[in-house]
Structure 1
Protein backbone atom coordinates (compact mmCIF):
# COMPACT_ATOMS: atom_id res chain seq x y z
CA UNK A 1 0.00 0.00 0.00
CA UNK A 2 1.45 3.36 -1.04
CA UNK A 3 1.60 6.22 1.45
CA UNK A 4 -1.23 8.70 1.43
CA UNK A 5 -3.00 11.38 3.49
CA UNK A 6 -6.75 11.52 4.05
CA UNK A 7 -8.52 14.82 4.77
CA UNK A 8 -11.94 14.82 6.39
CA UNK A 9 -14.55 16.80 8.32
CA UNK A 10 -17.10 15.74 10.93
CA UNK A 11 -19.97 17.06 13.03
CA UNK A 12 -21.20 19.43 10.28
CA UNK A 13 -17.82 21.09 9.92
CA UNK A 14 -17.14 21.50 13.65
CA UNK A 15 -14.12 19.22 13.25
CA UNK A 16 -11.44 18.82 10.61
CA UNK A 17 -9.21 15.78 10.53
CA UNK A 18 -6.18 14.33 8.79
CA UNK A 19 -4.79 10.80 8.86
CA UNK A 20 -1.86 9.24 7.03
CA UNK A 21 0.01 6.03 6.42
CA UNK A 22 3.71 6.77 5.93
CA UNK A 23 5.64 3.49 6.04
CA UNK A 24 7.35 3.97 2.66
CA UNK A 25 8.47 7.56 3.25
CA UNK A 26 9.82 6.80 6.74
CA UNK A 27 11.66 3.77 5.35
CA UNK A 28 13.09 5.97 2.56
CA UNK A 29 14.35 8.43 5.19
CA UNK A 30 15.89 5.55 7.17
CA UNK A 31 17.71 4.33 4.05
CA UNK A 32 18.95 7.79 3.08
CA UNK A 33 20.31 8.61 6.53
CA UNK A 34 21.08 5.10 7.84
CA UNK A 35 19.27 5.97 11.08
CA UNK A 36 19.23 3.84 14.22
CA UNK A 37 15.81 2.51 15.34
CA UNK A 38 15.21 5.32 17.87
CA UNK A 39 16.38 7.98 15.38
CA UNK A 40 14.09 6.44 12.72
CA UNK A 41 11.13 6.59 15.12
CA UNK A 42 11.78 10.23 16.08
CA UNK A 43 12.40 11.39 12.50
CA UNK A 44 9.51 9.28 11.20
CA UNK A 45 7.02 10.82 13.64
CA UNK A 46 8.06 14.35 12.67
CA UNK A 47 8.01 13.50 8.93
CA UNK A 48 4.47 12.10 9.30
CA UNK A 49 3.33 15.23 11.14
CA UNK A 50 5.06 17.42 8.56
CA UNK A 51 3.32 15.66 5.67
CA UNK A 52 -0.13 16.17 7.25
CA UNK A 53 0.56 19.76 8.32
CA UNK A 54 1.95 20.55 4.85
CA UNK A 55 -1.30 19.30 3.33
CA UNK A 56 -3.15 21.94 5.41
CA UNK A 57 -1.49 24.74 3.42
CA UNK A 58 -3.27 26.26 0.45
CA UNK A 59 -0.72 27.29 -2.21
CA UNK A 60 1.72 25.22 -4.27
CA UNK A 61 4.62 27.45 -3.19
CA UNK A 62 3.84 27.33 0.58
CA UNK A 63 6.53 25.63 2.67
CA UNK A 64 6.41 24.29 6.22
CA UNK A 65 9.44 23.67 8.43
CA UNK A 66 9.32 21.78 11.74
CA UNK A 67 12.36 21.91 13.99
CA UNK A 68 12.80 20.01 17.23
CA UNK A 69 15.84 21.08 19.23
CA UNK A 70 16.48 19.13 22.42
CA UNK A 71 19.37 18.45 24.76
CA UNK A 72 19.17 14.68 24.17
CA UNK A 73 21.70 12.67 22.12
CA UNK A 74 19.76 13.14 18.83
CA UNK A 75 20.69 16.84 18.91
CA UNK A 76 17.79 17.97 16.76
CA UNK A 77 15.40 17.03 13.97
CA UNK A 78 14.46 19.17 10.97
CA UNK A 79 11.62 18.42 8.54
CA UNK A 80 10.26 20.47 5.64
CA UNK A 81 7.06 19.79 3.71
CA UNK A 82 5.02 21.37 0.94
CA UNK A 83 1.29 21.42 0.23
CA UNK A 84 1.56 18.54 -2.26
CA UNK A 85 2.51 15.82 0.23
CA UNK A 86 6.28 15.94 -0.42
CA UNK A 87 8.34 15.86 2.76
CA UNK A 88 12.03 15.53 3.67
CA UNK A 89 14.07 15.72 6.84
CA UNK A 90 17.10 14.72 8.84
CA UNK A 91 18.26 14.13 12.40
CA UNK A 92 21.53 15.63 13.64
CA UNK A 93 22.92 12.39 15.09
CA UNK A 94 21.36 9.49 13.15
CA UNK A 95 23.30 6.66 14.84
CA UNK A 96 22.14 7.25 18.44
CA UNK A 97 21.33 4.04 20.32
CA UNK A 98 19.35 3.99 23.58
CA UNK A 99 17.92 1.14 25.66
CA UNK A 100 14.12 0.73 25.37
CA UNK A 101 11.86 2.42 27.92
CA UNK A 102 8.79 0.47 29.05
CA UNK A 103 9.37 -1.91 26.14
CA UNK A 104 9.28 0.91 23.55
CA UNK A 105 11.84 2.99 21.70
CA UNK A 106 12.81 5.89 23.98
CA UNK A 107 12.12 8.81 21.61
CA UNK A 108 11.59 11.22 24.53
CA UNK A 109 14.98 10.33 26.00
CA UNK A 110 16.68 10.64 22.61
CA UNK A 111 15.18 14.10 21.97
CA UNK A 112 15.55 15.48 25.51
CA UNK A 113 14.30 18.80 26.90
CA UNK A 114 13.99 21.65 24.42
CA UNK A 115 11.85 23.53 21.92
CA UNK A 116 9.59 22.87 18.94
CA UNK A 117 9.55 25.53 16.23
CA UNK A 118 7.04 25.69 13.37
CA UNK A 119 7.81 27.99 10.41
CA UNK A 120 5.29 28.54 7.62
CA UNK A 121 6.51 30.38 4.52
CA UNK A 122 3.37 31.40 2.64
CA UNK A 123 4.90 34.02 0.34
CA UNK A 124 4.22 36.91 2.71
CA UNK A 125 6.90 39.44 3.69
CA UNK A 126 7.77 37.47 6.79
CA UNK A 127 7.25 33.73 7.38
CA UNK A 128 4.96 32.82 10.29
CA UNK A 129 6.96 31.34 13.15
CA UNK A 130 5.60 29.74 16.32
CA UNK A 131 7.61 28.16 19.13
CA UNK A 132 6.69 26.13 22.20
CA UNK A 133 8.51 24.03 24.77
CA UNK A 134 8.64 20.26 24.34
CA UNK A 135 6.16 18.90 26.88
CA UNK A 136 7.02 15.20 26.49
CA UNK A 137 9.58 15.13 23.62
CA UNK A 138 7.54 12.27 22.12
CA UNK A 139 6.55 14.60 19.19
CA UNK A 140 2.74 13.98 19.10
CA UNK A 141 2.03 15.53 22.52
CA UNK A 142 4.40 18.39 21.70
CA UNK A 143 2.45 19.21 18.52
CA UNK A 144 -0.86 18.96 20.40
CA UNK A 145 0.52 21.54 22.87
CA UNK A 146 1.84 23.71 20.00
CA UNK A 147 -1.55 23.83 18.21
CA UNK A 148 -3.35 24.80 21.43
CA UNK A 149 -0.85 27.44 22.53
CA UNK A 150 0.58 28.97 19.34
CA UNK A 151 -2.36 28.62 16.95
CA UNK A 152 -5.17 28.52 19.55
CA UNK A 153 -6.64 25.44 17.83
CA UNK A 154 -7.64 22.64 20.26
CA UNK A 155 -6.19 19.52 18.60
CA UNK A 156 -5.27 15.92 19.18
CA UNK A 157 -2.21 14.49 17.44
CA UNK A 158 -1.31 10.80 17.27
CA UNK A 159 1.92 9.58 15.61
CA UNK A 160 3.63 6.22 15.48
CA UNK A 161 6.53 4.34 13.89
CA UNK A 162 6.93 0.60 14.48
CA UNK A 163 10.25 -1.07 13.64
CA UNK A 164 10.77 -4.65 12.46
CA UNK A 165 13.39 -6.91 14.03
CA UNK A 166 15.72 -6.22 11.07
CA UNK A 167 15.45 -2.48 11.90
CA UNK A 168 13.40 -1.63 8.81
CA UNK A 169 10.07 0.18 9.20
CA UNK A 170 7.11 -2.17 9.81
CA UNK A 171 4.46 0.57 9.74
CA UNK A 172 4.14 4.31 10.32
CA UNK A 173 1.38 6.88 10.31
CA UNK A 174 -0.65 9.30 12.33
CA UNK A 175 -3.67 11.56 12.69
CA UNK A 176 -4.49 15.18 13.55
CA UNK A 177 -7.99 16.08 14.81
CA UNK A 178 -8.79 19.80 15.13
CA UNK A 179 -11.76 21.67 16.60
CA UNK A 180 -13.17 24.64 14.77
CA UNK A 181 -13.92 27.75 16.93
CA UNK A 182 -17.66 26.98 16.87
CA UNK A 183 -17.28 23.34 17.99
CA UNK A 184 -19.87 22.42 20.62
CA UNK A 185 -19.02 21.03 24.03
CA UNK A 186 -20.80 17.73 23.33
CA UNK A 187 -18.74 17.27 20.13
CA UNK A 188 -15.50 17.81 22.04
CA UNK A 189 -16.63 15.39 24.79
CA UNK A 190 -17.52 12.72 22.23
CA UNK A 191 -14.11 13.00 20.55
CA UNK A 192 -12.37 12.77 23.92
CA UNK A 193 -14.34 9.57 24.52
CA UNK A 194 -13.49 8.21 21.05
CA UNK A 195 -9.78 8.94 21.53
CA UNK A 196 -9.73 6.33 24.30
CA UNK A 197 -10.22 3.69 21.55
CA UNK A 198 -6.89 4.63 19.93
CA UNK A 199 -4.34 3.38 22.40
CA UNK A 200 -1.58 3.55 19.80
CA UNK A 201 -1.54 4.43 16.10
CA UNK A 202 0.85 1.60 15.26
CA UNK A 203 -1.40 -0.99 16.95
CA UNK A 204 -4.12 -0.16 14.42
CA UNK A 205 -1.75 0.10 11.43
CA UNK A 206 -0.19 -3.24 12.38
CA UNK A 207 -3.66 -4.80 12.23
CA UNK A 208 -4.02 -3.47 8.68
CA UNK A 209 -6.26 -0.51 9.50
CA UNK A 210 -6.25 2.25 6.86
CA UNK A 211 -6.20 6.00 7.62
CA UNK A 212 -9.91 6.06 6.71
CA UNK A 213 -10.64 3.31 9.25
CA UNK A 214 -8.65 5.12 11.96
CA UNK A 215 -10.72 8.26 11.32
CA UNK A 216 -13.86 6.09 11.46
CA UNK A 217 -12.87 4.99 14.99
CA UNK A 218 -12.25 8.62 15.98
CA UNK A 219 -15.13 10.36 14.24
CA UNK A 220 -17.49 7.73 12.82
CA UNK A 221 -20.27 8.55 15.28
CA UNK A 222 -20.00 12.26 14.43
CA UNK A 223 -20.89 12.14 10.75
CA UNK A 224 -17.40 11.60 9.30
CA UNK A 225 -17.02 12.87 5.75
CA UNK A 226 -13.83 12.10 3.79
CA UNK A 227 -13.16 15.15 1.62
CA UNK A 228 -9.98 14.14 -0.24
CA UNK A 229 -6.96 11.85 -0.34
CA UNK A 230 -3.49 12.69 -1.63
CA UNK A 231 -0.24 10.73 -2.03
CA UNK A 232 2.70 11.57 0.22
CA UNK A 233 6.36 10.69 -0.23
CA UNK A 234 9.92 11.41 0.92
CA UNK A 235 11.22 13.77 -1.73
CA UNK A 236 14.26 16.05 -1.85
CA UNK A 237 14.62 18.66 -4.58
CA UNK A 238 18.38 19.03 -4.16
CA UNK A 239 20.66 19.11 -7.21
CA UNK A 240 24.32 19.78 -7.94
CA UNK A 241 23.38 23.36 -8.89
CA UNK A 242 21.49 23.95 -5.62
CA UNK A 243 24.27 22.46 -3.48
CA UNK A 244 26.75 24.69 -5.36
CA UNK A 245 25.11 27.66 -3.60
CA UNK A 246 26.26 26.17 -0.29
CA UNK A 247 29.81 25.91 -1.67
CA UNK A 248 29.67 29.56 -2.81
CA UNK A 249 28.44 30.61 0.65
CA UNK A 250 31.70 29.56 2.34
CA UNK A 251 33.47 32.47 0.60
CA UNK A 252 36.35 33.03 -1.84
CA UNK A 253 39.18 32.33 0.59
CA UNK A 254 37.89 28.87 1.57
CA UNK A 255 37.19 27.95 -2.06
CA UNK A 256 40.72 29.06 -3.02
CA UNK A 257 42.10 26.90 -0.18
CA UNK A 258 40.18 23.90 -1.59
CA UNK A 259 41.63 24.57 -5.05
CA UNK A 260 45.16 24.87 -3.60
CA UNK A 261 44.69 21.48 -1.92
CA UNK A 262 44.30 20.05 -5.43
CA UNK A 263 41.66 17.53 -4.30
CA UNK A 264 38.07 16.98 -5.45
CA UNK A 265 35.58 17.85 -2.72
CA UNK A 266 32.36 16.09 -1.74
CA UNK A 267 29.36 17.98 -0.35
CA UNK A 268 26.34 16.17 1.07
CA UNK A 269 22.75 17.40 1.12
CA UNK A 270 21.52 17.57 4.74
CA UNK A 271 18.01 16.46 3.86
CA UNK A 272 18.68 13.32 1.80
CA UNK A 273 22.40 12.63 2.31
CA UNK A 274 23.08 12.61 -1.45
CA UNK A 275 26.77 13.33 -2.11
CA UNK A 276 27.83 15.76 -4.85
CA UNK A 277 31.44 15.85 -6.07
CA UNK A 278 33.14 18.99 -7.36
CA UNK A 279 36.44 18.73 -9.23
CA UNK A 280 39.23 21.31 -8.90
CA UNK A 281 38.20 22.67 -12.33
CA UNK A 282 34.58 23.04 -11.17
CA UNK A 283 35.78 24.81 -8.02
CA UNK A 284 37.73 27.26 -10.22
CA UNK A 285 34.52 28.00 -12.16
CA UNK A 286 32.62 28.49 -8.90
CA UNK A 287 35.36 30.87 -7.64
CA UNK A 288 34.89 33.05 -10.76
CA UNK A 289 31.19 33.41 -9.95
CA UNK A 290 31.84 34.07 -6.27
CA UNK A 291 31.15 37.67 -5.22
CA UNK A 292 32.93 37.69 -1.88
Structure 2
Protein backbone atom coordinates (compact mmCIF):
# COMPACT_ATOMS: atom_id res chain seq x y z
CA UNK A 1 0.00 0.00 0.00
CA UNK A 2 1.25 3.49 -0.84
CA UNK A 3 1.41 6.60 1.29
CA UNK A 4 0.74 10.30 0.77
CA UNK A 5 2.03 12.95 3.15
CA UNK A 6 0.92 16.56 2.86
CA UNK A 7 3.00 19.36 4.37
CA UNK A 8 2.17 23.06 4.59
CA UNK A 9 4.29 26.16 5.11
CA UNK A 10 3.83 28.14 8.33
CA UNK A 11 1.93 30.93 6.56
CA UNK A 12 -0.21 28.35 4.66
CA UNK A 13 0.77 29.82 1.28
CA UNK A 14 2.44 26.65 -0.03
CA UNK A 15 1.38 23.00 0.16
CA UNK A 16 3.49 19.99 -0.81
CA UNK A 17 1.99 16.52 -1.20
CA UNK A 18 4.49 13.67 -1.53
CA UNK A 19 3.75 10.05 -2.44
CA UNK A 20 5.47 6.71 -1.99
CA UNK A 21 3.91 4.84 -4.90
CA UNK A 22 6.02 1.69 -5.16
CA UNK A 23 3.16 -0.68 -4.34
CA UNK A 24 0.84 1.17 -6.73
CA UNK A 25 3.32 0.87 -9.60
CA UNK A 26 4.01 -2.79 -8.76
CA UNK A 27 0.28 -3.45 -9.12
CA UNK A 28 0.23 -1.59 -12.45
CA UNK A 29 2.99 -3.88 -13.74
CA UNK A 30 1.17 -6.99 -12.44
CA UNK A 31 -2.22 -6.06 -13.91
CA UNK A 32 -1.00 -4.82 -17.30
CA UNK A 33 2.13 -7.00 -17.68
CA UNK A 34 3.74 -3.84 -19.00
CA UNK A 35 7.26 -3.38 -20.30
CA UNK A 36 9.69 -1.31 -18.25
CA UNK A 37 9.21 1.99 -20.09
CA UNK A 38 5.41 1.69 -20.02
CA UNK A 39 5.44 0.76 -16.33
CA UNK A 40 7.46 3.93 -15.72
CA UNK A 41 5.13 6.10 -17.82
CA UNK A 42 1.87 4.74 -16.43
CA UNK A 43 3.31 4.70 -12.92
CA UNK A 44 4.20 8.38 -13.16
CA UNK A 45 0.73 9.22 -14.46
CA UNK A 46 -0.97 7.17 -11.71
CA UNK A 47 1.04 8.85 -8.96
CA UNK A 48 0.51 12.31 -10.44
CA UNK A 49 -3.23 11.71 -10.69
CA UNK A 50 -3.29 10.40 -7.12
CA UNK A 51 -1.64 13.60 -5.92
CA UNK A 52 -4.13 15.69 -7.90
CA UNK A 53 -7.10 13.79 -6.50
CA UNK A 54 -5.92 13.67 -2.90
CA UNK A 55 -7.75 16.21 -0.79
CA UNK A 56 -10.63 17.01 -3.16
CA UNK A 57 -13.51 18.21 -1.02
CA UNK A 58 -16.26 15.75 -1.91
CA UNK A 59 -16.05 12.12 -0.79
CA UNK A 60 -17.31 11.00 -4.20
CA UNK A 61 -15.18 13.44 -6.24
CA UNK A 62 -13.07 11.91 -8.98
CA UNK A 63 -10.29 13.18 -11.25
CA UNK A 64 -9.40 11.52 -14.54
CA UNK A 65 -6.19 12.37 -16.38
CA UNK A 66 -5.68 11.28 -19.98
CA UNK A 67 -2.49 11.65 -21.98
CA UNK A 68 -2.45 11.03 -25.71
CA UNK A 69 0.87 12.05 -27.21
CA UNK A 70 0.85 9.96 -30.37
CA UNK A 71 3.60 7.65 -29.10
CA UNK A 72 3.69 3.84 -29.41
CA UNK A 73 2.13 3.35 -25.96
CA UNK A 74 -1.07 5.01 -27.18
CA UNK A 75 -3.41 6.72 -24.75
CA UNK A 76 -2.68 6.53 -21.02
CA UNK A 77 -5.40 7.14 -18.45
CA UNK A 78 -5.57 7.28 -14.66
CA UNK A 79 -8.49 7.88 -12.31
CA UNK A 80 -8.17 8.89 -8.64
CA UNK A 81 -10.60 9.53 -5.82
CA UNK A 82 -10.40 12.18 -3.11
CA UNK A 83 -8.37 9.83 -0.90
CA UNK A 84 -5.67 9.40 -3.54
CA UNK A 85 -6.61 5.82 -4.44
CA UNK A 86 -5.97 5.35 -8.14
CA UNK A 87 -6.40 3.02 -11.10
CA UNK A 88 -4.77 3.23 -14.53
CA UNK A 89 -4.83 1.82 -18.04
CA UNK A 90 -2.75 2.05 -21.21
CA UNK A 91 -3.59 1.19 -24.79
CA UNK A 92 -0.32 -0.65 -25.59
CA UNK A 93 1.30 -2.07 -22.42
CA UNK A 94 4.37 -3.48 -24.13
CA UNK A 95 6.72 -1.04 -25.86
CA UNK A 96 10.43 -1.63 -26.28
CA UNK A 97 12.67 1.39 -26.84
CA UNK A 98 16.39 2.05 -26.40
CA UNK A 99 17.42 4.32 -23.50
CA UNK A 100 17.15 8.06 -24.04
CA UNK A 101 20.10 10.42 -24.47
CA UNK A 102 21.00 10.30 -20.76
CA UNK A 103 20.69 6.54 -20.45
CA UNK A 104 17.26 6.50 -18.80
CA UNK A 105 14.00 4.84 -19.80
CA UNK A 106 12.61 6.81 -22.73
CA UNK A 107 9.22 7.71 -21.26
CA UNK A 108 8.73 10.63 -23.66
CA UNK A 109 9.50 8.33 -26.57
CA UNK A 110 6.82 5.87 -25.45
CA UNK A 111 4.24 8.54 -24.65
CA UNK A 112 4.97 10.94 -27.50
CA UNK A 113 4.87 14.73 -27.45
CA UNK A 114 2.42 15.48 -30.25
CA UNK A 115 -0.84 15.64 -28.33
CA UNK A 116 -2.52 16.83 -25.17
CA UNK A 117 -3.15 16.18 -21.51
CA UNK A 118 -6.84 16.20 -20.59
CA UNK A 119 -8.14 16.46 -17.04
CA UNK A 120 -11.74 15.66 -16.15
CA UNK A 121 -12.97 16.49 -12.65
CA UNK A 122 -16.27 15.00 -11.51
CA UNK A 123 -17.19 17.15 -8.52
CA UNK A 124 -20.82 16.11 -8.19
CA UNK A 125 -22.05 18.98 -10.33
CA UNK A 126 -24.39 18.74 -13.32
CA UNK A 127 -21.46 18.59 -15.72
CA UNK A 128 -17.83 17.60 -15.03
CA UNK A 129 -15.07 20.14 -15.40
CA UNK A 130 -12.86 19.41 -18.42
CA UNK A 131 -9.52 21.08 -19.12
CA UNK A 132 -6.97 20.36 -21.82
CA UNK A 133 -3.54 21.74 -22.73
CA UNK A 134 -0.87 20.61 -25.21
CA UNK A 135 1.86 18.31 -23.97
CA UNK A 136 5.17 20.02 -23.27
CA UNK A 137 7.49 17.03 -22.89
CA UNK A 138 5.70 13.68 -22.65
CA UNK A 139 7.58 13.08 -19.38
CA UNK A 140 4.29 13.32 -17.41
CA UNK A 141 5.44 15.51 -14.48
CA UNK A 142 6.17 18.54 -16.64
CA UNK A 143 2.88 18.04 -18.45
CA UNK A 144 0.89 18.01 -15.20
CA UNK A 145 2.71 21.18 -14.09
CA UNK A 146 1.88 22.87 -17.39
CA UNK A 147 -1.77 21.83 -17.13
CA UNK A 148 -2.13 23.23 -13.60
CA UNK A 149 -0.51 26.52 -14.61
CA UNK A 150 -2.38 27.01 -17.89
CA UNK A 151 -5.80 25.53 -17.24
CA UNK A 152 -6.27 26.04 -13.49
CA UNK A 153 -3.91 29.02 -13.00
CA UNK A 154 -2.19 27.24 -10.10
CA UNK A 155 1.61 27.74 -10.02
CA UNK A 156 3.07 24.37 -9.12
CA UNK A 157 6.04 22.03 -9.29
CA UNK A 158 5.60 18.34 -10.03
CA UNK A 159 8.26 15.66 -9.71
CA UNK A 160 7.58 11.99 -10.46
CA UNK A 161 9.87 9.01 -10.81
CA UNK A 162 9.85 5.23 -11.22
CA UNK A 163 13.04 3.20 -10.83
CA UNK A 164 13.04 -0.24 -12.46
CA UNK A 165 15.38 -3.06 -11.44
CA UNK A 166 17.37 -5.03 -14.08
CA UNK A 167 14.90 -7.93 -13.60
CA UNK A 168 12.08 -5.48 -14.54
CA UNK A 169 10.60 -5.33 -11.02
CA UNK A 170 9.91 -1.93 -9.45
CA UNK A 171 12.69 -0.75 -7.13
CA UNK A 172 10.99 2.42 -5.95
CA UNK A 173 8.48 4.99 -7.14
CA UNK A 174 7.40 8.32 -5.79
CA UNK A 175 6.86 11.99 -6.39
CA UNK A 176 5.63 15.27 -5.05
CA UNK A 177 3.35 18.11 -6.04
CA UNK A 178 3.97 21.62 -4.71
CA UNK A 179 1.13 24.11 -5.12
CA UNK A 180 1.59 27.81 -4.48
CA UNK A 181 -1.39 29.89 -3.41
CA UNK A 182 -1.93 33.39 -4.87
CA UNK A 183 -0.89 35.25 -1.70
CA UNK A 184 2.59 33.64 -1.56
CA UNK A 185 5.33 36.26 -1.53
CA UNK A 186 8.18 36.48 -4.02
CA UNK A 187 10.57 35.49 -1.23
CA UNK A 188 8.68 32.26 -0.66
CA UNK A 189 8.66 31.43 -4.35
CA UNK A 190 12.41 32.07 -4.51
CA UNK A 191 12.93 29.76 -1.51
CA UNK A 192 11.00 26.98 -3.23
CA UNK A 193 13.02 27.42 -6.40
CA UNK A 194 16.23 27.14 -4.40
CA UNK A 195 14.97 24.03 -2.61
CA UNK A 196 14.06 22.30 -5.85
CA UNK A 197 17.40 23.17 -7.41
CA UNK A 198 19.21 21.50 -4.49
CA UNK A 199 17.08 18.35 -4.37
CA UNK A 200 18.09 15.14 -6.11
CA UNK A 201 15.55 13.14 -8.10
CA UNK A 202 12.76 11.54 -6.10
CA UNK A 203 13.94 8.03 -6.93
CA UNK A 204 17.49 8.87 -5.77
CA UNK A 205 16.15 10.35 -2.54
CA UNK A 206 14.09 7.22 -1.91
CA UNK A 207 17.02 4.99 -2.81
CA UNK A 208 19.02 6.86 -0.17
CA UNK A 209 16.35 6.08 2.41
CA UNK A 210 14.49 9.37 2.51
CA UNK A 211 10.90 8.94 3.70
CA UNK A 212 7.86 10.56 2.15
CA UNK A 213 7.48 13.10 4.94
CA UNK A 214 11.18 13.96 4.76
CA UNK A 215 10.84 14.66 1.04
CA UNK A 216 7.77 16.87 1.58
CA UNK A 217 9.51 18.84 4.33
CA UNK A 218 12.69 19.11 2.26
CA UNK A 219 10.72 20.72 -0.58
CA UNK A 220 9.43 23.35 1.86
CA UNK A 221 12.70 23.85 3.70
CA UNK A 222 13.07 27.35 5.13
CA UNK A 223 9.31 27.92 5.27
CA UNK A 224 8.80 26.38 8.75
CA UNK A 225 6.64 23.56 7.34
CA UNK A 226 4.53 21.08 9.27
CA UNK A 227 3.03 17.76 8.21
CA UNK A 228 -0.70 18.26 7.71
CA UNK A 229 -1.90 14.78 6.60
CA UNK A 230 -0.52 11.25 6.38
CA UNK A 231 -2.71 8.77 4.49
CA UNK A 232 -2.42 5.29 3.03
CA UNK A 233 -3.29 5.09 -0.66
CA UNK A 234 -3.72 2.11 -2.93
CA UNK A 235 -4.20 0.95 -6.49
CA UNK A 236 -7.95 0.42 -6.31
CA UNK A 237 -10.46 -0.44 -9.00
CA UNK A 238 -14.14 0.07 -8.18
CA UNK A 239 -15.54 -2.13 -10.93
CA UNK A 240 -18.35 -4.56 -10.05
CA UNK A 241 -20.89 -6.78 -11.74
CA UNK A 242 -23.56 -4.13 -11.14
CA UNK A 243 -21.49 -1.45 -12.88
CA UNK A 244 -20.84 -3.83 -15.77
CA UNK A 245 -24.57 -4.47 -16.07
CA UNK A 246 -25.17 -0.73 -16.35
CA UNK A 247 -22.57 -0.54 -19.12
CA UNK A 248 -24.34 -3.32 -21.02
CA UNK A 249 -27.71 -1.62 -20.67
CA UNK A 250 -26.22 1.64 -21.97
CA UNK A 251 -25.37 -0.10 -25.26
CA UNK A 252 -29.01 0.01 -26.31
CA UNK A 253 -31.61 -2.51 -27.42
CA UNK A 254 -30.19 -3.31 -30.86
CA UNK A 255 -26.70 -4.08 -29.62
CA UNK A 256 -28.01 -6.13 -26.70
CA UNK A 257 -30.08 -8.22 -29.12
CA UNK A 258 -26.94 -8.80 -31.20
CA UNK A 259 -25.09 -9.89 -28.04
CA UNK A 260 -27.88 -12.33 -27.20
CA UNK A 261 -27.53 -13.93 -30.65
CA UNK A 262 -23.76 -14.34 -30.19
CA UNK A 263 -24.11 -16.42 -27.03
CA UNK A 264 -22.18 -15.91 -23.79
CA UNK A 265 -20.41 -12.58 -23.39
CA UNK A 266 -17.26 -11.98 -21.35
CA UNK A 267 -16.33 -8.43 -20.35
CA UNK A 268 -12.88 -7.64 -18.97
CA UNK A 269 -12.17 -4.58 -16.84
CA UNK A 270 -9.22 -2.73 -18.38
CA UNK A 271 -8.16 -1.30 -15.02
CA UNK A 272 -7.87 -4.49 -12.96
CA UNK A 273 -8.28 -7.44 -15.34
CA UNK A 274 -11.40 -8.89 -13.71
CA UNK A 275 -13.79 -10.78 -15.98
CA UNK A 276 -17.59 -10.58 -15.86
CA UNK A 277 -19.50 -13.24 -17.81
CA UNK A 278 -23.13 -13.07 -18.88
CA UNK A 279 -25.30 -15.75 -20.50
CA UNK A 280 -27.81 -14.82 -23.22
CA UNK A 281 -30.62 -15.27 -20.66
CA UNK A 282 -28.91 -12.83 -18.29
CA UNK A 283 -28.49 -10.27 -21.07
CA UNK A 284 -32.12 -10.79 -22.09
CA UNK A 285 -33.21 -10.12 -18.50
CA UNK A 286 -31.16 -6.91 -18.44
CA UNK A 287 -32.84 -5.83 -21.69
CA UNK A 288 -36.30 -6.47 -20.25
CA UNK A 289 -35.49 -4.58 -17.06
CA UNK A 290 -34.19 -1.60 -19.04
CA UNK A 291 -37.59 -1.25 -20.72
CA UNK A 292 -39.48 -0.94 -17.45
2:127 aligned residue: 126
In structure 1, stretches of 5+ residues that fail to align are none
- Kept in 1, the 8 Å contact 2:47–2:174? The answer is yes
- Kept in 2, the 8 Å contact 1:251–1:290? The answer is no
- Kept in 2, the 8 Å contact 1:11–1:187? The answer is no
Q: 1:145-156, aligned counterparts within 5 Å? A: 145-156=146-157
Of the structure 1 ranges 154-163 and 91-100, higher mean CA displacement relative to structure 2 is found in 91-100
- Kept in 1, the 8 Å contact 2:217–2:226? The answer is no
Say whether 1:107 aligns with 2:107. Answer: yes
Write out the 4+ residue segments of structure 1 that deviate beyond 3 Å after TM superposition.
none
Say whether 1:20 aligns with 2:12. Answer: no
| 3-state SS in 1 of match to 2:273 | coil
| TM-score calculated relative to the size of structure 2 | 0.94
How big is the shift at 1:289? Answer: 2.7
Alpha-carbon distance in structure 1 between the residues aligned to 2:27 and 2:197? 32
How big is the shift at 1:197? Answer: 2.1
Of the structure 1 ranges 7-16 and 223-232, higher mean CA displacement relative to structure 2 is found in 7-16
Deviations 1:8-33 (A, max 9, x none): 11141121110010110111121111
Q: 1:1-292, aligned counterparts within 5 Å? A: 2-101=1-100, 102-112=102-112, 113-262=114-263, 264-291=264-291
How big is the shift at 1:199? Answer: 3.1
- Count residues in correspondence: 290
How big is the shift at 1:258? Answer: 2.9
How big is the shift at 1:273? Answer: 2.0
- Kept in 2, the 8 Å contact 1:197–1:217? The answer is no
| 3-state SS in 2 of match to 1:67 | strand
| TM-score calculated relative to the size of structure 1 | 0.94
How big is the shift at 1:290? Answer: 4.1
How big is the shift at 1:245? Answer: 2.0
Alpha-carbon distance in structure 1 between the residues aligned to 2:17 and 2:188? 17
Alpha-carbon distance in structure 2 between the residues aligned to 1:253 and 1:213? 57
